[in-house]
Structure 1
Amino acid sequence: MARDQSDDPQNPFFLHGADHPSLVLVSNLLNGNNYNTWERAIKIALTVKNKLGSIDGSYDQPSNTDSHAAAWSRCNSMVISWLLNAVTKEIADSLLYHESAQSIWTNLQLRYQQSNAPRIYQLKQSMNNLVQGSLSINAFYTRMKTIRDDLKTYQPAPTCHCGNMKAWNDYQEQEFVMTFLMGLNPSYAAVRAQILMMECSLSILKVFLLVVQEERHRAIGFDAHAETGQGSGSSVALTQGRR
């Protein structure tokens, strides 16, 4: 008897024993305002599951007489469940009667994928307006990098690997460095000036580490000052008592 190919882990219709309809593939559910990052996360998760073909049209529904019809149906229903679990309840309710995972995916793209120009404008505006404020250096950097990575998805993929492309990438990196430094609180003016005076251009990661190091030194200094302040306060009290 021929072995069912759907039992082969390499087969796109294969379902592992750990796969179940209640599985949640992503931590942040689609709420209508986070489509780009959600789409990226879902694609990564489905690629790991070898199920990306269920949403991109790679696997058309076979005829009822096809030997893979049952396997396709099980796989399709499983991916539908995963997609419904990855969106808010309000969005999920509007998708319940779609017959295929691909149909759900297309529907979500049409509803929430914004056209390039407005989205690019929105992201650049968010980047320019972002300042550290009450955020830690790590939280500020993470928020800025998230916006930058989202913005990069709208840039055409480079096909040239010549020196000009390296120069362009270096320029983009320095633009990010400058935006990061400009968004820091005024209290970091000294470390910002030191970085800008360096002869060689630093990567954004190196700049981030330098600023984080400064933040940690301040935290240590604050603790030491607090302890010293208690001691000096006692000394002042003692001096006043002697008078």
Structure 2
Amino acid sequence: MADGKDSSSLPNDDYANPFFLHPSDNPGAFIVSQPLNGENYNSWSRAILMALGGKNKIGFVDGTIPKPKETAKSFHSWQRNNNIIASWLLNSISKDLQASVIYSSSAAAIWSDLRICFQQQNGPRVFQLRHDLMTLKQGSLSITHYFTKVKALWEELTEYIPPHTCDCGAIKSWIDYHQSEYVMLFLMGLNKGYSQFQ
């Protein structure tokens, strides 16, 4: 916790306590607008993490708030939160995918099963994203709508890039190159009236 307190020592009505449940936090809630359909894992998982982060519940899916012993004071609060979050996850995936995780033992197990199943180096999806970026043209789209489409494809493609760490400062040149590629793709698809290079 940011203030160094153990979450079990905080009152259950404290917003900083991950065990806190607002009256609107019910099992029937839909916390993301687009359900996971098997093709949109990266954007779906990002939306889920944002929603859970806003509710201070990420620890229940990433395993940092583990299940306590049944004799622990926090067990019933953990169980209640786990069930609510598991319901939110189930509500946020398509009906045909629910059967694969309905019997998972916890929200963290559901999250892990979905990550293992869908967050793979997906060659066909990377190919499709690259193809869509290369062939996307502004056409009759407004510049704002065109920019939004390019940005969504680019950001999803970026999710497939393997993580990299570097302490030497060389990563800056790679990031600059990556950003210039993004700008070039955007410019290549603009209508002729917007680009002096076409």
For Structure 1 versus Structure 2, the TM-score category normalised by the shorter chain is 0.7 to 0.9
Contact 2:187 2:195 in 1 (8 A): yes
The Cα shift of 1:6 comes to: 2.8
Preserved CA contact (<8 Å) 2:10 2:17? no
CA-CA distance at 1:4 after TM superposition: 7.1
What is the CA–CA distance in structure 1 between the aligned matches of 2:168 and 2:11, rounded to whole Å?
A: 41
Instruction: Quote the offset at 1:151 in angstroms.
Output: 2.0
1:73 & 1:139 partners in 2: Cα distance?
Answer: 44
Q: TM-score of the superposition, structure 1-length normalised?
A: 0.69
Would the alpha carbon gap of residues 150 and 15 (structure 1) be closer, same or farther in structure 2, given more than 3 Å must change?
A: same
Whichever residue aligns with residue 94 of structure 2, its letter is: T
| CA-CA distance at 1:159 after TM superposition | 4.3
Tell me what 2:23 maps to. Answer: 17
Q: Which amino acid aligns with 2:80?
A: R
**Aligned pair partner of 2:156 in 137, 150, 154:** 150
Task: Report the alpha carbon displacement of residue 178 of structure 1 after superposing the two structures with TM.
Answer: 1.7
Is 1:6–2:12 an aligned residue pair? yes
Q: Normalising by the residue count of structure 2, what TM-score does the alignment of the two structures yield?
A: 0.83
Identify unmatched segments of 5+ residues in structure 2: 1-8
Counterpart in the other structure of 2:147: 141
Instruction: Name the CA distance, whole Å, in 2 between partners of 1:77 and 1:63.
Output: 16
CA-CA distance at 1:23 after TM superposition? 1.2
Secondary structure of the structure 1 residue equivalent to 2:113 = helix
Pairwise CA RMSD: 2.4
Match 1:46 to one of 41, 44, 52: 52
- The verdict on how the C-alpha distance between 1:190 and 1:17 changes in structure 2, with shifts beyond 3 A counting, is closer
d(CA) in 2 for partners of 1:82, 1:58: 18
Separation of aligned partners in 2, 1:79 and 1:39: 14
1:128 is aligned to 2:131: no
2:101 aligned with 1:87: no
1:60 pairs with 2:66: yes
- Cα separation, 2, equivalents of 1:134 and 1:89: 35
- State the one-letter code of the partner of 1:82: W
Does 1:74 find its partner at 2:74? no
Deviations 1:150-209 (A, max 9, x none): 1222333564585x555443333332222112112xxx324301xx59xxxxxxxxxxxx
Amino acid at match of 2:117: R
Distance in 2 (alpha carbons) for counterparts of 1:100 and 1:174: 43
Which residue of structure 2 lines up, in the alignment, with residue 202 of structure 1?
none
Q: Given the superposition, is the C-alpha separation of residues 160 and 117 from structure 1 closer, same or farther in structure 2, using an over 3 Å criterion?
A: farther
Query: How many residues are treated as equivalent by the alignment?
Result: 189
Residues 113 and 168 (structure 1 numbering): CA distance in 2 closer, same or farther, change over 3 Å?
A: closer
Give the corresponding residue for 2:195: 192
Aligned to 2:4: none
- Kindly state the Cα deviation for residue 122 of structure 1 after the two structures are TM-superposed: 3.5
Separation in 2 of the partners of 1:31 and 1:60? 28
Give the Cα–Cα distance (whole angstroms) in 1 for the partners of residues 40 and 129 of structure 2.
Answer: 12
Which is helix-richer, 1 or 2? 1
CA contact under 8 A between 2:121 and 2:160: conserved in structure 1? no
Counterpart of 2:114?
108
Measure, in 1, the Cα distance between the counterparts of 2:123 and 2:100.
Answer: 28
Write the letter of the residue equivalent to 1:78: I
